[in-house]
Structure 1
Amino acid sequence: MNPDNKKNILKQCVYEFLGTGLIIFFGIGSIALSKLTNIHFSQYEISIIWGLSVSIAIYFSFSTSGAHFNPAITIFLWLSSQFSKKKVVPYIMSQISGSFFFTMLIYYIYNNILISFEKNNNIIRGSQKSLDIASIFCIYPKNYNNFMHDFITEIIITVIFIIILMKLNNKNLFFTSYNILYPILIGILVTIINASFGALNNIVLNPAQDLGPRIFLSLVGWGKSAFLGQENSYFPYFLVPTIAPIIGINLGGWIYNLFIK
């Protein structure tokens, strides 16, 4: 069976769509629940939910699509000749579409609560104040950080992330338990990263995880502010979660292949 024929590529893209969407559905769902209701999760609890979501999504999709869920990983695998060029764009579009669609589901589920929260707090969509609500769905800078700080931090964290991920992605490391342990270990890795740095500096690791929700927000009232972030920034903030992970993943992959492999 040719994995690159149109029928198989379509099936793989469906699994990328669903896998990416599941991560978004549970991850953003936990943030929405915490911010909009009286059920307040700590950073550690939200980090665990994100990590478990990643593990479940990998179990769901790995055997069919390889469970990329991340345009940065798809691009890295292509550039390192480990992934077919003809599948790069379909995979990336599936990942972004999955995050967009499942963000839409979360928005529908929480819509009444969201509108009530906005009214009670005099929040007008598209204003700087409304970015606090928008941060449920995608990242915006903390008051004590700036664009360049967050951009460089995202690169550093994604370099570390991909180096560890590539080391764990070693079939000789866990012998016959490899397929069972791998998704759990990646989920633990995501949990640790989010728990360690999420509250200090918003960490994405995955452009699709942020870009899909950001596009959706721009269509439901936030407009260009969904992409810009801080008014006094020279650069639109969406470049941090979109471009920095791609640089970090490819730099980290190069470091791993050259010095660690």
Structure 2
Amino acid sequence: MNIYRKKNLIKKCFVEFFGTGLVVFFGIGSLAALKLKNIDFNQFEISCIWGFAVSISIYFSSSISGAHLNPAITIFFWLSSKFHKRKVLPYIVSQIFGSFFFTMLIYYLYNNLLISFESKNNIIRGTQESLNLASIFCVYPNCQNSFIFNFMIEILSTALFMIILLEFNNKNNNYFLYNKSIIPILIGLLVCMINLVISPLNNISLNPARDLGPKIFLSLTGWGIFSFTGGNENILCCLIPIIGPILGTNLGGWIHKLLINNNN
């Protein structure tokens, strides 16, 4: 790899790091404000914050890195021969580390409130009582549902997201061809709507980096293995927010490619 290509890849990776981190910063920040400061956010407002965070991050990163911001999307583009294999691992590491770093920022910004909440409610990290606090940062599937139901919800949600996302960016779609500046807003609105519809059924991530980065960070700050399992006896449940989006994104991507945009 020559020096120019190396510098260009570093630049793109930093943008992926920062863009993914922005999504996490605003999204997790809103949850921290809700649970630790009793800010009166409802589900609609929380979903809108996540959606706007995605829109802002896409505007920030699209012209430089392509605004993947999601390992599942990076993997799909690689598997569909639209992304060079040498960039896959650097992109994914950047996305996860961005999520990790900006989770750390929120954690330390709210650290005094977090400690006060734990002390007031006699919460010990790594116990079932700490799940409510851990869920500020991480995605934990609804334990009242079956594993299969939660897994399918994650796959179907991300498949739907990917189908619509690809159609927004379809070069054969003349409307969006001449109105590209509106696409990030529509993608953010899509994230908001999916969250509103699915959240009453299950907690979804749509993005492995959004979940994995915070879980790695929490595991280092007192939650240990509990940050990954959420206390669920079925260890496979911790894979749902990671594997589900990858499978769903590829399912949706290939449905779009084969059934909707089959000219390409």
Q: TM-score by structure 2 length?
A: 0.94
Contact conserved, 1:141 with 1:230, CA < 8 A, in 2?
Answer: no
CA distance in 1, matches of 2:219, 2:111: 16
Is 1:169 the counterpart of 2:186? The answer is no
CA distance in 1, matches of 2:179, 2:3: 25
Cα shift readout 1:39-59 (whole Å, capped 9, x = no counterpart) = 121111000000000000000
Letter in 1 for 2:221: V
CA distance in 2, matches of 1:207, 1:14: 18
Contact conserved, 1:19 with 1:69, CA < 8 A, in 2?
Answer: yes
Superposition pairs of residues 106-125 of structure 1, within 5 angstroms: 106-125=106-125
Compute the displacement of 1:176 (Å).
2.6
Identify the residue that residue 229 of structure 2 maps to in structure 1: 228
Compute the displacement of 1:139 (Å).
1.1
Identify the residue that residue 45 of structure 2 maps to in structure 1: 45
Letter in 2 for 1:125: R
Provide structure 2 residue ranges, at least 5 long, that are not aligned to the other structure.
none
Letter in 1 for 2:176: F
Letter in 2 for 1:18: F
Provide the aligned C-alpha RMSD in A.
1.5
CA distance in 2, matches of 1:87, 1:142: 35
Identify the residue that residue 260 of structure 1 maps to in structure 2: 260
Identify the residue that residue 213 of structure 1 maps to in structure 2: 214
Cα shift readout 1:156-200 (whole Å, capped 9, x = no counterpart) = 11111100111111243324321x111001000001011111232
Contact conserved, 2:103 with 2:137, CA < 8 A, in 1?
Answer: yes
Provide structure 1 residue ranges, at least 5 long, that are not aligned to the other structure.
none
CA distance in 2, matches of 1:225, 1:236: 13
Compute the displacement of 1:4 (Å).
8.1
Contact conserved, 1:43 with 1:199, CA < 8 A, in 2?
Answer: no
CA distance in 1, matches of 2:95, 2:138: 15
Identify the residue that residue 240 of structure 1 maps to in structure 2: 240
CA distance in 1, matches of 2:224, 2:150: 23
Compute the displacement of 1:129 (Å).
1.3
Identify the residue that residue 250 of structure 1 maps to in structure 2: 250
Cα shift readout 1:19-73 (whole Å, capped 9, x = no counterpart) = 0000000000001100111212111100000000000000000000000000000
Identity %, equivalent residues: 62
Letter in 2 for 1:189: L
Identify the residue that residue 182 of structure 1 maps to in structure 2: 183
Q: TM-score by structure 1 length?
A: 0.95
Letter in 2 for 1:78: W
Letter in 2 for 1:147: F
Contact conserved, 2:70 with 2:92, CA < 8 A, in 1?
Answer: yes
Is 1:195 the counterpart of 2:177? The answer is no
Contact conserved, 2:154 with 2:245, CA < 8 A, in 1?
Answer: yes
Compute the displacement of 1:3 (Å).
11
CA distance in 2, matches of 1:238, 1:246: 14
CA distance in 2, matches of 1:102, 1:168: 28
Letter in 2 for 1:79: L
